[in-house]
Amino acid sequence: KNEVEQSPQNLTAQEGEFITINCSYSVGISALHWLQQHPGGGIVSLFMLSSGKKKHGRLIATINIQEKHSSLHITASHPRDSAVYICAVKPGAQKLVFGQGTRLTINP
Amino acid sequence: NAGVTQTPKFQVLKTGQSMTLQCAQDMNHEYMSWYRQDPGMGLRLIHYSVGAGITDQGEVPNGYNVSRSTTEDFPLRLLSAAPSQTSVYFCASARGGTVTGELFFGEGSRLTVL
């Protein structure tokens, strides 16, 4: 079993829908990252969380340390949000363990 | 600022050849790392560094060497390329000697080993 599991693996939605991507992990962590990989392959950092909730524009990330679970929400989704969203956790030392990613497609 | 710069973007090697993937950052970040991305798998850590002169192994270090002689540069060396090393490679950096800060990724290097 992978240390980091993302669900769903693939998600297709219509423009304007509220999107939720989930990340569950099996180890104790000190930080969790959400990343976005564009169709062209580039990767950008969206959030780093150690507790609670963060918001940036239409993106919201939450984490529940006790339940070992994080969610990434996108409000009023747009075709430009189409990308692969990746969860990564820091279980210790200076290493990250990554989920396999969630491929999101937003249709106009 | 250029951010994190990786070269080359594409490379084709024959089995047994050696090469170096270059990674440079101009943000004075102490933390730098190399990952490989394979279809159906998440990014996997190859090697990382928390500062000049300090390197450590990640999840999949075999077949790769690194060094960190300056804060700016973190090259990844393939000593004798194998087809199993066909992958997309990403370099990333973060402020301070820790991976709890915002990560900055290079654009990736696609390597094919024949």
Whether the pLDDT of residue A101 is over 70: the answer is yes
**Which residues of chain A make contact with B55, given a CB cutoff of 8 A?**
none
Question: In this complex, which of B40, B45, B108 lies closest to A96 when CB atoms are compared?
Answer: B45
- How confident is the model over A64-75, as a mean pLDDT? 96
**pLDDT for A35:** 97
Q: Tokens 């900055």 — which residue?
A: B104
CA atoms within 13 A on the CB side of A74: 24
* Residues on chain B bordering chain A, Cβ-to-Cβ distance under 8 angstroms: 31, 33, 35, 40-45, 48, 50, 56, 58-59, 88, 90, 92, 97-105, 107-108
Q: Please tell me the predicted confidence (pLDDT) of residue A1.
A: 59
Q: For chain B, which residues score pLDDT lower than 70?
A: 1
CA-CA distances (angstroms) from residue A27 to B29, B99, B113?
A: 27, 17, 35
pLDDT > 80? residue A12: yes
Return the pLDDT at A92.
75
